[in-house]
Structure 1
């Protein structure tokens, strides 16, 4: 594993706490919008190669996938994995008429990804006083994507899972940062830790 990837225990704890706050804000944003309770997992922070990243995001065939790049003081990509199960109930909470058309399904997926990933990134950026700009999400199929084309050979992955409790719907948000952004992130966390 690349030395750049290695986080000290203090850095990892701080990053996990910052992610926890950001993810909580994201869950609250969506919960307020759909007026229902949302559970979140403890953020999982791991380092992976492009192959490991592919395995992480592509293990569930019954899912929809989106990706969004972000730029600024740190840059990388956010991938969201949304279960097909329970999506209709969530779309109904977002006031889409039933039955859902293919276009409604696509809009629901992109809207959920943008709300949660956007709020997560905004929360993290704000806490670390980093400027970031998140692009709009696009649908993608991991099976048809070449993960080896990424700019990084190792990436720090910060992952959290959201559960919408009135349905069987779950969504995972995976942040991927390259080496240069990791170096910046680590120095910013060190400043924060003083």
Structure 2
């Protein structure tokens, strides 16, 4: 299912770029929570868009329900970012943000939106910076989904490739696991790869 869109050198530079943007994100998240936060990138891979649903099922392991955020970005660098969180990670982050036990669905959704907004803008902003491009972000959306009903949800169209980034957010010994999916068409992927190649030189 996984294909290698990036060669090892490109993957190293991509990981470094994401590390830098995640460092900035962690600092902002830490300020928001009034606590120390660290974002780890355990792994990066790339897949064909047709395997996106299968990958979501795989990363969720045995969880059936999950939160999915979507945010388009448009401009000289364009695509879409999805985030997937299981129930546990979503509730833990919300509790840390609001400093109380959480049961309200809207609180959980708005907390996750805040978290993903920070990471998306830092990460895509970094990509735009290296290609000397500009992008604007559309209003993000969030919904709760169930794996058993995956075939009922609208399919995402207009993209060819997915960069899959497994993220772990450490706060107060809590391990909040999220999965970031950057959806690009072939043209955008090639533009990103050629820019990364120039950074190597």
- With normalisation by structure 1, the TM-score equals 0.81
Give the superposition deviation at 1:68.
Answer: 0.9
Give the superposition deviation at 1:98.
Answer: 5.1
Whether the aligned pair in 2 keeps the contact of 1:80 and 1:174 (CA below 8 Å) is yes
Residue in structure 1 matching 2:153, options 145, 148, 168: 145
Aligned position for 2:177: 170
Residue in structure 1 matching 2:191, options 171, 177, 184: 184
Give the superposition deviation at 1:129.
Answer: 2.7
Unmatched 5+ residue regions in structure 1? none
SS in 2 for 1:85: helix
Q: Which moved more, 1:35-44 or 1:53-62?
A: 35-44
Whether the aligned pair in 1 keeps the contact of 2:84 and 2:180 (CA below 8 Å) is yes
Once residues 75 and 140 of structure 2 are traced to their aligned partners in structure 1, the CA distance between those partners, rounded to angstroms, is 17
Offset from partner CA, 1:78-108 (integer Å, 9 cap, x none): 1111232153443243337655433222211
Aligned position for 1:131: 134
Once residues 132 and 168 of structure 2 are traced to their aligned partners in structure 1, the CA distance between those partners, rounded to angstroms, is 25
Once residues 55 and 99 of structure 1 are traced to their aligned partners in structure 2, the CA distance between those partners, rounded to angstroms, is 30
SS in 1 for 2:80: strand
Aligned position for 1:80: 83
Give the superposition deviation at 1:168.
Answer: 4.7
Aligned position for 1:45: 44
SS in 2 for 1:150: coil
Cα pair distance change 1:11/1:98, threshold 3 Å: closer
Larger relative contact order, structure 1 or 2 (CA cutoff 8 Å, min sep 6) = 1
Alignment: residue pair count? 190
Cα pair distance change 1:129/1:158, threshold 3 Å: farther
Once residues 178 and 63 of structure 1 are traced to their aligned partners in structure 2, the CA distance between those partners, rounded to angstroms, is 26
Q: Which runs of 4+ in 1 moved over 6 A?
A: none
